Amino acid sequence: MAHKCFISFKTEDIAYKKHIHDNLNVDMIDKSLHEPIESEDEDYIMRKIREDYLSDSTVTIFLIGTNSSENDLYENQNFLKRELQASLYHGKGNTLNGILGVVLPSMTGKIYGGKQICTKCGNSHNIVRINEDTVIKEFSYNYFIPNGKCAWGEDDRFCVLVTWEEFCNDAESWINQAFNKRNHPIANYIKVRP
């Protein structure tokens, strides 16, 4: 079944967006912008994105590059933030999207930190640095939804995370996984504006 996917990305990562569109054999309907919206009015641009691209999409693919973080002092994150907020919103004229974070090669080492023994439970956990230094809050909060545990399993996260290489090897499976989160019980705990 083809999913309607919106790809959220920073302009400098457009080559990855084009690679998904042109080279991956994925059964998806691309709802992404292919040309910029000609306007200086941010509210108008976001309204057009919500109405024309996000309103009937089902999965948002968020390309996580070096300039996709909340704490990036040199980048305006308004578009990324609003695109993910619109993707997380479920209401009149908009459906909740699954969110698939694809970690681009430039960020793999910064996000994935190997394993570490937990001082709380004594078990070994994977270190995944999803925070305001690597992504925007709309993604980090909904990836690590507060739960009082020392580690998060797939049932504890709404957002799905994958490396670029893993995504390219089996994009359709990862898109399906994000799509399925829309009806998972964890969807009841997401925040649109954390």
Long-range contacts of 22-28 (CB under 8 A, 24+ apart): 24/168, 24/171, 26/171, 26/172, 26/175, 27/1, 27/2, 27/3, 27/172, 28/2, 28/3, 28/4, 28/59, 28/172, 28/175
Taking 70 as the threshold, does the pLDDT of residue 137 lie above it?
Answer: yes
Q: Yes or no: say if 135 and 64 are a contact pair by the CB < 8 Å rule.
A: yes
Provide CB contacts within 8 A for 138, sequence distance 6+: 80, 81, 84, 85, 88, 192, 193, 194
pLDDT of 179 > 70? The answer is yes
For the chain, percent of residues with pLDDT exceeding 90: 59
pLDDT tier at 41, thresholds 50, 70, 90: confident
* Model confidence band, residue 189 (pLDDT cutoffs 50, 70, 90): very high
Q: How far is CA 188 from CA 44, 73, 183, 184, 191, in A?
A: 30, 32, 9, 8, 9
Is residue 106 scored above 70 in pLDDT? Answer: yes
Judge if pTM exceeds 0.75: yes
pLDDT above 80: residue 117: yes
In sequence order, which residues have a C-beta less than 8 Å from that of residue 90 and are 6 or more positions away?
96
* Average confidence (pLDDT) over 2-11: 88
Left, alpha or beta for 108 (phi > 0: left; psi -120 to 50: alpha)? alpha
Q: Which residue has the higher pLDDT, 31 or 134?
A: 134
User: Residue 172 — pLDDT band, cuts 50, 70, 90?
Assistant: very high
Phi, psi of 189 (to 5 degrees): -115, 5
Q: What is the pLDDT of residue 33?
A: 61
CB 145 within 8 A of CB 189: yes
- Averaged pLDDT, 99-127: 95
Instruction: List, for residues 54-87, the tens digit of each pLDDT value.
Output: 777 899 999 999 999 999 877 788 888 888 998 9
The confidence score (pLDDT) of residue 32 equals 63
Helices 42-49 and 78-88: crossing angle in degrees, nearest 10, is 40
